[in-house]
Amino acid sequence: MPQQHPDERTRIREAMDRLLTGQATASNGSLTITALAAEADVHRMALMKRHADLKNEFYERVRTETQQVPETEKRLRETVAKLRKTIANQKAEIDELRHQVTGLTLASAVLTQERGTSAEPVPTPDNVVPFRPPTA
């Protein structure tokens, strides 16, 4: 526990109690770190950096005393769900593209095979010079 901020720690603990009992006086009463910092009259970054243990304690108390999931955890879970859906869509798209590549490769091979077995020579434009003379 940092010795230079005992007053802050006391205010944070008192603010935790007010928020968890629904008696917020200086914030909107939400169970977030921002509301806790406003309620305790402490800068949010001070709460996040100097008093990280109190931040963790607050989240733990939110879980146990109110049977709620903290807002940050809800947002993270939503983001994870969106990312999983995106990954599934991308995997499906990759599978479809691989199938198309296989089909196009086979079609190209068939066309190349047909071109090589045809009896009549393939007409070449006047501006094309073959590397090898055509065999007849």
Residues 63 and 79 in one domain: no
Predicted structure pTM score:
0.51
Q: 71 φ, ψ to 5°? A: -55, -40
Residue with tokens 């008192």: 14
Residues 41 and 15 in one domain: yes
**CA nearest 62: which of 19, 111, 122, 94?**
19
**Residue 31 and residue 39 in contact, taking contact as beta carbons nearer than 8 Å:** no
Residues 98 and 60 in one domain: no
21 within some domain: yes
Residues 81 and 28 in one domain: no
DSSP assignment of 13-26 equals HHHHHHHHHT--SS
Task: State which residues form the domain around 18.
Answer: 6-68
Structure tokens at 26: 């200086």
118 within some domain: no
Average pLDDT, the chain: 85
Least confident stretch, 10-19, 94-103, 109-118 = 109-118
At residue 101, the 3 state secondary structure works out as: helix
pLDDT score for 4: 55
41 within some domain: yes
**Residue 59 and residue 66 in contact, taking contact as beta carbons nearer than 8 Å:** no
User: 6-63 pLDDT, tens per residue?
Assistant: 788 999 999 999 998 888 888 888 888 899 999 999 999 988 899 999 999 998 888 8
Residues 52 and 95 in one domain: no
77 within some domain: yes
pLDDT at 100 over 90: yes
Torsion of CA 42, 48, 52, 55, to 10 degrees: 70
Domain count, the chain: 2
